[in-house]
Structure 1
Amino acid sequence: MELSEIELRTEEAFGHSEGGPYSLVLIDKGGSGRVFVRITGVPKEGSVVVMHFTNDRPDNIRFAPITDFLLNNGIPVPAILARNEELNILWMEDLGEIDLHMIAHEDWAKVRRPAYESALRNVFLMHQMTEEAPPADVPIMEPGFDEELYEWERGYFLKRYVGPFVSEQAAEAIGADEGLQSLGESLSRLPRSLVHRDFQSTNVMVVGRDTRMIDYQGMRWGRPEYDLASMVYDPYTEFSAEEREHLIDYYFSLKQAAGHEETMEEFRSILTKCAMQRLMQALGAYGYISEVMGKPEFLQHIPTAKERLLELAETCPEGRILTEILSE
């Protein structure tokens, strides 16, 4: 959709701009393929963010009902101010331009730690909604994490990263390993809660002293540790060992306060497995986005993702094949 039409539809939704024409600026938020535009000069709102999407991806179609659900259940996400369902346009609250990734060089104690703790508290609200006792208004979502989806993530990793960037022989050997196959099997037997699915630094906006999640249209049933792993092992962001441990301990304290009875050892074991799954998926995504979608800037994240995957694999028997082949 052309910017001129987005401007026209904005005038229809909000009226003519006060004090001059609207100002429209394209926003690039990664590899999603949707179009985001920040518009300033909007009556009463000042500025809004417009999202236009096609029907090619079912998760994009579900963005609005999932947003409504999250807001109705007290989970901080941007409000939808207006919508044109026929043209697939949403006008959303403008949360500003600062996400967690952008504060990477700020002081840990004064800025980064409070922001990350806020983000973990917010996603924990989502994690409290379980498949065993689901909310009455839970919307239609993407298929949940099960053995098939975990297997798909590993296949994506092999096809889009290991084959092209290491070798086809390596992909074949890793794909045949029973230990790595058992990773998803063990996770798929565990109880599930609602998860964001892509809970990483560029998908959490910093708004004053608080944070808000974005890009949550992939919400589904899964393990909450998958979201935690997506954040604390995020290849976009550097943490010291102490900082990462603090965030893991902080999240575990939220679970304890909510009455969860698992031990730290059990929690850590699940977190490690989820982190390995997440990093395999991320490596596959970086390969696909850079090679197929023509965005080579995503190649810069591959070394960090690989390093973190191997660090985890060294502590997990199921990941032995990764250290044997990818460390070479």
Structure 2
Amino acid sequence: MNPDQLLRLAGALLGWPLHQGRAQQVALVPLLPDGSSRRFFRLQRAEQKVIAILPPENDPAGLVEARAFARIGRHLRECGAPTPALLAFDDQTGLALCEDLGAHRLYEEVQLRGLDAALPFYAQAVHALARIQVRGAQGFDPDWCWDTPVYDRQLMLERESGYFLRACCTDLLQLDFDGEAVGAECRHLAEAASQAPARFFLHRDFQSRNIMISNGAVRFIDFQGGRLGPLAYDLASLLIDPYVGLNAAAQEHLLATYLQALGREINYDHEQFEREYLLLALQRNLQILGAFAFLSRVKQKPFFAQFLVPALDSLRGLLAKPGAAGYAGLNHLCQLCRRKLEHL
């Protein structure tokens, strides 16, 4: 779809006046995505601004993902989630037209004003997260999902620990390690983590660059990978987010804040949650390392390479906890990765 076709379709969907088949006096500004292959644009007509999102050209999977974005987005809005309003959606092309939330994310808030100034927004985020995890699961249709309908053991092994071993340890760093021993630990970790009840709404990329700040309130984006899953995963995604590097005190404070918010929604044993949190934080940390290695090496996006060391330091910290004592092979591999990165 070229710019003229995009403007014509967007204008028709939004009811904007057309001139010679094209929306009148509309500025079209391409936006740079993070790791996504989707295409983003800002459309501005007079004082009205709209974000247009298109799947990649000639990509059937991208079209399915776009439809998941629309269906899950509508559901979350109906549940009261702080997501952008979906103004229009074209099922044939996958064009989504959304409320423009600006360009200020939680990530920028920390960079510009510091963690202390950002903590109230983090508190907002974890309060809203607890609500949508519980309420968003009610009436959620797994058929909306474009990837998998549930976060489970197989996904952990293929897309998280397996991703780390393949994309980071082998492809990027070319390490020589005991794959059989480490693989056995990854299977043990996935088996333990998969015992957490997976009946809640899971965003699966809940981190500072996917939380906008608009008019003093947090808003959540990039929820198209949503599915059913365990509670602790999204919280771990936010608290160990290497883009920011929250200190231990902030993480503990926000975990306690989250548990208070969760308690207003459901009864969930706090000790059980904290056991599940460590296991799922380990899983998420492995996924982060695999993704950042892949994006920096294969997708040629050097922005992500700078966060590999912070992500490895986070993984080392998690593996040092008493509840992770059974993962000596992963701990050793993590140290090998850290040393190799220092010499790249």
Q: TM-score w.r.t. structure 2 length? A: 0.86
What residue number does 1:6 align with?
A: 6
Aligned AA for 1:209?
A: G
**Equivalent-residue separation in structure 2 for 1:138 and 1:67 (angstroms):** 14
The aligned counterpart of 2:55 is 53
Unaligned runs of 5+ in 1: none
Q: Give distance in 2, aligned partners of 1:128 and 1:269.
A: 19
- Quick one: which amino acid aligns to residue 169 of structure 1? D
**Which region of structure 1 is more displaced relative to structure 2, 83-92 or 213-222?**
83-92
2:44 is aligned to: 40
Contact 2:66–2:95 (8 Å) recurs in 1: no
Q: Which residue of 1 aligns with 2:207?
A: 200
1:151-192 deviation per Cα after TM superposition (whole angstroms, max 9, x unaligned): 11211111000113443422625543x333211101212212
The superposition leaves residues 44-91 of structure 1 with CA deviations (integer Å, 9 ceiling, x where unpaired) of x71000011143233333110111111111111111112222222111
Identity %: 28
Q: What is the RMSD of the two structures over their aligned residues, measured on CA atoms?
A: 2.3
**Secondary structure at the counterpart of residue 112 of structure 1:** helix
* 206-215 or 4-13: bigger deviation: 4-13
Give the conservation status (yes or no) of the 8 Å contact 2:51–2:97.
Answer: yes
- Residues in 1 aligned to 2:164 and 2:178: alpha-carbon distance in whole angstroms: 9
What is the distance in 2 between the residues matched to 1:116 and 1:280? 23
Kindly tell me: are residues 224 and 259 of structure 1, through their superposed partners in 2, closer, same or farther at Cα, counting changes over 3 Å?
closer
Corresponding residue SS for 1:82: strand
> Deviation string for 1:260-303 (max 9, x for gaps)?
2413x432221111111001011111111122222122111111
Q: Which residue of 1 aligns with 2:74?
A: 68
* Count of residue pairs brought into register by the alignment: 321
CA–CA separation in structure 2 for the residues paired with 1:128 and 1:219: 13
Could you tell me which runs of 5 or more consecutive residues in structure 2 were left unpaired when the two chains were aligned.
337-344
Aligned pair 1:299/2:305, yes or no? yes
From 161, 168, 174, give the equivalent of 1:154: 161
SS of residue matched to 2:129: helix
Q: Which position in structure 2 is the counterpart of 1:323?
A: 331
CA contact (8 A) 2:76 2:83 kept: yes
Give the distance between the partners of 2:175 and 2:181, measured in 1 at CA: 10
Tell me if the contact between 2:75 and 2:140 (Cα under 8 Å) persists in the aligned partners. Answer: no
Deviates most, 316-325 or 201-210: 316-325
Q: Which moved more, 1:61-70 or 1:290-299?
A: 290-299
Equivalence map 1:93-112=2 (5 Å): 93-105=99-111, 106-109=113-116, 111-112=117-118
Whether contact under 8 Å (1:52, 1:89) holds in the other structure is yes
Inter-partner Cα distance in structure 2 for 1:138 and 1:148: 17
For the residues of structure 2 that align with 1:84 and 1:259, how far apart are their CA atoms?
Answer: 37
From 243, 255, 258, the equivalent of 1:251 is: 258
Answer with 80-89 or 30-39: which moved more.
80-89
Letter of the aligned partner of 1:71 in structure 2?
Answer: R
Q: In structure 2, what is the equivalent of residue 220 of structure 1?
A: 227
